[in-house]
Amino acid sequence: MRKEEDFILELEGITKIFPGIKALDDVRMDLRRGEIHALIGENGAGKSTFIKVLTGIHQPDAGSIRLNGQKIDMADPLVARRHGIAAIHQHLAVYPDLSVAENIFMGNEQTAGGFPAIHWKKTRDKAAELLHALGSDIDPNSEMGELSVAQQQIVEIAQALSQNAQVLIMDEPTAALSLRESEELYNIVRGLKEKGTSIILISHRFEDIFNLADRVTVLRDGRYIGTWDITETDSDTLVKHMVGRSIDQFYPKKTAVIGEPLLSVEGLSRTGFFEDVSFTLHAGEILGLTGLVGAGRTEVVEVLSGVTRADKGSVAIRGQKQDIHSPHEALKQGVSLLPEDRQKQGLLLPWSIRDNITLPRLDLHDKHGLLSQASEKKTAEEYIRMLSIKAQSGEDRAESLSGGNQQKVVISKLLTCGSRIIIMDEPTKGVDVGSKAAIYQIMCDLAAEGFGILMVSSDMPEVLNLCDRALVMREGRISAVFTQKEMSPEALLKAAMPLEKARKGEAVHA
């Protein structure tokens, strides 16, 4: 039976209208005391707008917010902060040149004795206490920019606790973390829950949801779909609620004919990263490259795309040996890379979609020594239509797009180069399930047209369902090669498992 005193936060009938779009339409959600409540949906479902309403960045056009049973007007972010609502965003807002302690107490500076000057000892001591409470040994005097992403997240959690946050919103907290870092974060989040903190978790990763959440709420197209106890649902059901179709429709049937060798790698080595890597990628093939984090996968594709150089070995394209010494040289030889971090390595975020798509081949839009914007616009519109990029026009900034649509822009860049060898490093990382399905369809369409795709992936289902073959890396070497028929989760995991752990029979997750 529902009791109002059980809920720390209640939102009813939240509606938010922007010019030309209703971003939220009669959305509701409640949060129990000491609960982890997942909020999920495709990109564009309204999650970000909902959180901005809750944190005072946007004011709703209709609806109410109650905190501890009292109706509040979340007029601005300072009001949310005073009421103990804090958010940790996917892209961390840190001051890299300041210390950990300074970051924790930014805007909440510690003073003593009525003096306006910062009391540095008090600042460092309190920062150390907060970090210790989270089970962290981060030095408060460390420079923020020297920390890993996982450590920076811990600092942001400490900052929220310094503000006596009752409600903590975590947006894609594991998107940039390794498996081990994710497990460490899980432990911290569970500890916060045990101490009574209420948490709203936004994540595209079902591992996060089923490891942490007590309940889950689904939004679709700005509307409330439903709320379920996590023990009463599963990933297939949630996907169907999120996108309106079942999960078995995610992976398109691949009908490409495997053709001639496009890329041949023989004995490739880079000291300290990988050794004696050999394989062949054929036209029409999606070749998976998988393994545990740190196995050397990304380092291999960085060599193939000219980002770094190998110490030994050879690379041949269509049977001709090539010395790929730069990304520009790789593009000339028909090799394009979709990098793991699209925002830092794949896009110029303040630039328009048009500018990003046409940047690699500006020579195609040269009209008598001048850059033809009409030609650029035509090309951009073709790819926006071809890849179903959701945008008002090609002049929209790349930073305004959802993660899935940003990824489609990066894929468009690769296709403008005319490359037939496409390397994709974690192509669906940090994108919603609907965008994943669209990217899978694009990959299969490219394979059907004779492209060769080398896909680095930590996502077991996409390796099993998309790849014609899979290479498994372990400790810098290829430990196994599987055909599509030979692949299974057990076989892939066994091949990826470090040798020492394999002997001991320990479980390892990809």
Residue-wise pLDDT tens digits, 20-72? 678 899 999 999 999 999 999 876 788 989 999 999 999 999 999 999 999 99
Q: Is the pLDDT of residue 227 over 50?
A: yes
Please provide the DSSP assignment of 124-144 as one string: HHHHHHHHHHTT----TTSBG
Q: Is the pLDDT of residue 504 over 70?
A: no
Average pLDDT over residues 111-137: 87
Looking at residue 301, its pLDDT comes to: 95
d(CA 422, CA 333): 12
Q: Is the pLDDT of residue 353 over 60?
A: yes
Q: Does residue 54 contact residue 48 with C-beta atoms inside 8 Å?
A: no
Q: Kindly state the DSSP code that residue 476 receives in the 8-state scheme.
A: T
Q: Are strands 36-40 and 261-270 parallel, antiparallel or unpaired?
A: unpaired
Average pLDDT over residues 272-293: 93
Q: pLDDT category, 505, cuts 50, 70, 90?
A: very low
Show the DSSP H helices in 55-119 as ranges: 77-82, 100-104
In 3D space, the residue among 438, 403, 280, 419 whose CA is nearest the CA of residue 337 turns out to be 419
Average pLDDT over residues 481-498: 88
How far apart, in Å, are the Cα atoms of 498 and each of 192, 293, 469, 474, 506? Answer: 33, 11, 21, 6, 10
Mean pLDDT of the chain: 88
- List phi, psi (to 5°) of 411: -65, -40
Looking at residue 2, its pLDDT comes to: 52
Q: Are strands 320-322 and 312-317 parallel, antiparallel or unpaired?
A: antiparallel
How does pLDDT run across 459-477, given as a tens digit for each residue?
888 899 999 999 999 989 9
State the residue for tokens 């399905």: 437
How does pLDDT run across 244-271, given as a tens digit for each residue?
765 556 788 777 889 999 999 999 999 9
Residues 158-194 as b/e (b if ≥16 CB within 10 A, e otherwise) read bbbbbbebbbbbbbbbbbbbbbebbebbbebbeebbe
